[in-house]
Each structure stands twice: as structure tokens, then as C-alpha cells.
Amino acid sequence: MIACSSLLKLLTAVVWAVLPVTVQTNSGETVEGELIAFSSDSLTIGQDGNSVEIPFEDVDRLVPNDAEEGTGPAYRVTLVGGSKIMAQDVSLKDSQLTIEPRRQNALTIPVKQVKAIRFRPASTSTDAAWFGNFERENRGDSLVLRRSADTLDSLSVIVMSIENKRIGFDLEGTTADVDFGKLEGVLFGGGTTVAENPEIQVTDIWGSKWAATAIQPSQADQPLKIELTSSATHTIPLEQILSIRWSGGVALLTGLKPVAESLKTFFPTTVQSELMTSFFGNRKVNEQNLSMVGGSSAEYRVEPGYQLFSGSVRRDSDSEGGQLIVKLQMDGKVVWEETLEDSEPKGFELPLGEARRLSIEVSSGKDGDLGDRVLVVRPRLLK
């Protein structure tokens, strides 16, 4: 519910810091006004001399009206809690990682709360290999080396330090260091998956997505203060906020009903397609993964509000070998294609844009589809 009062809290004291915003509620109502304050469980905006208080539980998102995206720094730090932070520098000392975002205060957190640091911008030539490494379970630290413009390799190490754009590491008892320029990134061990459904997600103009557990009270002349964990907080200047979202942000494809499925065998058959699909078609694995045979496809409807399609693909453990090709299509257009010739996973993180249909297609090339099966690992839509 939205409650109104005649007192416009603190407006005259902070006219110089007025921030026009648009608030979208869970009921579909749009409220426009000037941001006055955040409390621990609501926000207050000004409208025509009155104040409007809106509980967080009723809010879908808040968007500053005049915010414009900037060109962010290249490094991307992914935290276990779900934050993806664009950083201009990082350093590691005594198991504490210090992250320096652009024009924001530095953040220092235990390295055990960090999943990965990618030193290079996203690239179609290396994204599949990078996200494939990112999606797999890593029990120890890994340096992801850039062997060539489109080839990555992984080296298991113990990361000791990060300083002056160099990573110090231990490789089987021998210590050494390497320059960021020779790396795609570093993955930290522990096997922990990244949380993807934050209570609150704050996106800033530099491209960072901050996964917050709470917003702390503040007024319109103060920066936004968010809690990332029980022991870590961060402040973001209001003029750097692109959006704040309160609603849930992830949908697994295995939890959605396909709008269409098909199965085409390499060799002609007189068996009815419905029966073939029933016996050999797509199936769920552990309620999160999708197993698909060569010649099969699945199409899903994309509901409004989702921004990314993420996951990885690899040969299923019972695949007999041979060539496998996976294609991802949005509204009938191929946006991602990879050939699986070994057990290495290939990952993806693709912007959805205005797409309303998403399909996954698996083919077996020219060597037949007998025993060909692909595991699509945690395919998911993200807000």
C-alpha cells in the first residue's frame, strides 16, 4: 500500500540534491516524484508538496529519470553473494581482496567471498571458454591463461597475492607471479556457486550489479548505503545509480514449460514423432540441468523483464562421442553456436534485448546421432 502525508520531509534542506525517479510497484502502478529518503524497509518520494512512502515489499524497481550509462572499467569481479563489480583495480593481501570501483569507495572483503576476477572485456572469441570454466566446480584456484586471441587454458594453483597488476601464486611448491596482461582472469576455489536471486539488486552507471541484502537508512543528500553481507557494506553516489530492483531475478528453464519441442533423427524412421520424443527427447537432470540428444530442439517464451540468458553446455556423461553442435536462437536468429568435440564445457551469458522466444538446438553434424547427448547446465533467465 502507498501512504501519503502532508509533510515533505527535509525537501527544503536538500533541494540541491533532488533526484527525479520513477517507481514501478508490484501491482503495475507507476509513481513519479523526487527521492527524499530510504528507511530500512521503505522509500519516500516527493509529489506536488506531499510525501509518498512506499514499502519495499510493494516495489518492483526504482529508476532515476536522468541516469545515463557510462563507460566502465574493464575488470569484472564476481562475488559469491551475486554482485558483479566493474573495477579499475584489485589487490589481495592476507586473504583480503580490495576492489576499487570507479568514483566509489574501495571495498575490502575476504577472498573466500570472491568467485572470479576477469581482467579482459567480454569477447565472442573467448566468452564460451571463460564461462565454461566459470560454470564448472573448482576445488582450488585457477589461473585462466590467454594462449592466443581465441584460446584459453587453465592452470591449477594457489593464489597468494595480487598487487601492481600481478598475481603471485604457488604451483606445486614453487612460487611465481604473472602479469594481468597474460591472463583472461582468475577463478577462486571452493566449489561455491554464485547466488543469482538477490533480495535487492542495484545497477550503477558503470555496469556493476550489486547484490544487496538490505538498504540502510539515508536522506536525499546522502549516497545510497547497501549491505552486501552481514559484515560488508558499500556506498554508491545517487547520481551513479541506474536502477534498483527488489523482485526476484532468476528463472531456470527446467522450471518452464517449452512452447515447442522437436526431435529429428539422422536416419529416416517410421516411428511417430510423439513416441520418439517421449523415449529419446529432452529430460531434466537434478531439476536444474537439461539433457538433449542430437537432432532435438526446445523453444521457450521469454517473459518481459529478463535481461540475460546464462548457462553452459558440455557432453553428457553417457554420450558416445562424435561431433555435437549447439545453437541458441532468439526470435529465430542464431546468436550463439559452439561445436563440442571433447569434454570441455562451453558457457554463455547473452543479452536478451527485446527477444520474446528463445530456443536451444542440438545437432550431430554429419557423423550420425547415435549416442549423442548434450547436458545444458543450469540454463537460466536473469533480470
Distance of CA 119 to the CA centre of its chain: 16
Q: Which domains are seen in the chain, by residue range?
A: 3-65+214-245 (2.30.30.100), 75-187 (no CATH), 250-382 (2.60.120.1060)
Cα(88)–Cα(74) distance, integer angstroms: 7
- Of residues 319 and 253, which shows the higher confidence score? 253
Residue with cell 553456436: 337
> What mean pLDDT is predicted for residues 352-376?
83
Residue 271's pLDDT is what?
46
pLDDT for the residue numbered 98:
98
Q: Tell me which residue of 295, 293, 297, 300 sits closest to 254, measured CA to CA.
A: 300
In whole angstroms, what is the distance from residue 32 CA to residue 338 CA? Answer: 45
pLDDT of amino acid 265: 62
pLDDT confidence of residue 139? 79
pLDDT digits (tens, 9 = 90+) for 19-43: 999 999 887 889 999 999 999 999 9
Q: What is the reported pLDDT for 369?
A: 53
pLDDT, residue 319, reads 65
Q: What's the half-sphere exposure (Cβ side, CA atoms, 13 Å) at 31?
A: 28
Burial 18-40 (b: 16+ CB within 10 A, else e): ebebebbbeeeeebebbbbbbee
User: Can you tell me the mean pLDDT for 103-115?
Assistant: 96
Say how far apart CA 315 and CA 319 lie, in whole Å. 6
Across residues 138-151, what is the average pLDDT?
A: 88
Mean pLDDT over the full length of the chain: 87
Question: What share of the chain in percent tops pLDDT 90?
Answer: 63
Q: Looking at the predicted structure, is the pLDDT value of residue 229 above 50? A: yes
Gap between the Cα atoms of 290 and 311, Å rounded: 11
The lowest-confidence range among 71-85, 256-270, 273-287 is 273-287
Q: What is the pLDDT of residue 230?
A: 85
- Bridge partners, residue 313, by sequence: 346, 376
Q: What is the pLDDT of residue 317?
A: 75
pLDDT (mean) for 52-66: 93
Q: What is the DSSP letter of 317?
A: T
Q: How confident is the model at residue 1 (pLDDT cuts 50, 70, 90)?
A: very low
Q: Band of the pLDDT at 371, cuts 50, 70, 90?
A: low
The predicted-structure confidence for 155-212, as pLDDT tens digits, reads as follows 999 999 999 999 999 999 999 999 999 999 999 987 667 888 888 999 999 999 999 9
* pLDDT the model gives residue 5: 42
> What is the per-residue pLDDT for 8?
37
| C-alpha–C-alpha distance, residues 46 and 35, integer Å | 6
Please say if the pLDDT value at position 10 is more than 80.
Answer: no
The predicted pLDDT at position 3 comes to 46
